[in-house]
Amino acid sequence: MDKRFWQTRWQEGKIAFHESVPNRHLVRHFMALSLSSGSRVFVPFCGKTADLDWLLSQGYGVSGIELNQDAVGEVFERLALTPDVARFRGLTRFSGKGIVIWVGDFFELSALDLGSVDAVYDRAALVALPAQMRTKYVRHLQSLCPSVPQLLVSYDYDQGKMEGPPFSLPEEHVRSLYKDIYEIENLASVDIYGPLAERCSGREESWILRPIGQS
């Protein structure tokens, strides 16, 4: 699963993972992170999600990273913002009022690039990666923003009946990846809905991950 795969998906419009309205788990459960107004939220693999608009509307700052530049351009167009654009170490930064999105490879983003964030919202990153890449993702995410809480959205379905992405991420995998870093709480488990429900049946789950010793 490389950069070309995702760029091709965007070019061909195969973006069933995109939701035109804010994700229901985000809206229902984000307050569980107990963030103060003005806190900054990092959204990895953000695409052009309407979740960014929702976070801004709630008074949070937003940082993201996305491989496809056209998707990022659509975000700023939708927000009626003209971005400041700058290049840094092979990445491109689009910034506007309350929002910064980096265009490029997540694994090339550094903590210096990202700056300080107060929480992570992961709806489309971990589930976009096959099992063999997940540990690498978690380690890099921790290097970018250690010791911050996280709202994670995942899917649990029979992987043998459908090719990812999004990939199935059952509870035991969530706990195996994060057990040494976070206290893990399942907030909700509901039937898969939307376009994905046309391809498979299973559960869509949300988790709050609190740094050990900080809850």
Which residue ranges are tagged as binding site? 10, 66, 123
The b-or-e profile of 36-46 (16+ CB within 10 A means b, else e) is: eeebbbbbbbb
Are the beta carbons of 61 and 39 closer than 8 angstroms? yes
| Alpha-helical segments (H) within the chain | 3-11, 24-29, 51-57, 69-78, 111-114, 131-144, 171-178
The answer to whether the Cα torsion of 27, 30, 31, 36 is positive or negative is negative
Cβ-contact 131, 143 below 8 angstroms: no
Pairing verdict, β 91-96 and 99-103: antiparallel
Q: Which residues are annotated as a binding site for S-adenosyl-L-methionine?
A: 10, 66, 123
Length of the chain, in residues: 215
- Cβ partners under 8 Å of residue 31, min gap 6: none
Helix (H) or strand (E) holding 93: strand 91-96
Query: The tokens 């992405």 sit on which residue?
Result: 165
